[in-house]
Amino acid sequence: MGLAWQRYGTGFITLITSPHRLSAMGVRFSGHGCVIPASGMGFWTLLEGCLLLANAFAILNEERFLVPRGWSFQEFSGVRRNSMKGQLIGLIYAVQYMRLPLLAANIIVIALKLVTG
């Protein structure tokens, strides 16, 4: 067969020439010649993505980013809070309020990544 690329958990990509080595590593071929890893996105990867999104919300500056775009928390009250924009603003402010638990979650994830690879 041809050459195939294999991606490892660390992000490095190496070229593997033997399809038998690929099947031994848990990689299968689709009908169109694409290499499909045997394991997909797991729950841990989903949690890491949510943590990254929470970190992105936590670093938004209210005076420099939110207020000039009309996303201030004081501008939304009553019925307007139930809109999608109001819910997103509430989420941003909730994440900014919970910075210390977010910091602890980041430390735990970094420690686990260092231990498990």
Kindly report, residue by residue over 61-105, the tens digit of the pLDDT: 888 888 888 787 777 666 566 788 888 888 888 898 999 999 999
Q: Which domain holds residue 27?
A: 4-37
Residues 59 and 94 in one domain: yes
The answer to whether residue 34 scores a pLDDT higher than 80 is no
Residues 80 and 97 in one domain: yes
Residues 31 and 63 in one domain: no
Residues 54 and 33 in one domain: no
Rounded to an integer, what distance in angstroms lies between the CA atom of residue 13 and that of residue 15?
7
The answer to whether residue 18 scores a pLDDT higher than 80 is no
Give the residue, 50 or 71, on which the prediction is more confident. Answer: 50
Residues 64 and 85 in one domain: yes
Residues 58 and 16 in one domain: no
Question: What is the number of structural domains in the chain?
Answer: 2
Query: Which band of pLDDT confidence, cut at 50, 70 and 90, is reported for residue 21?
Result: low
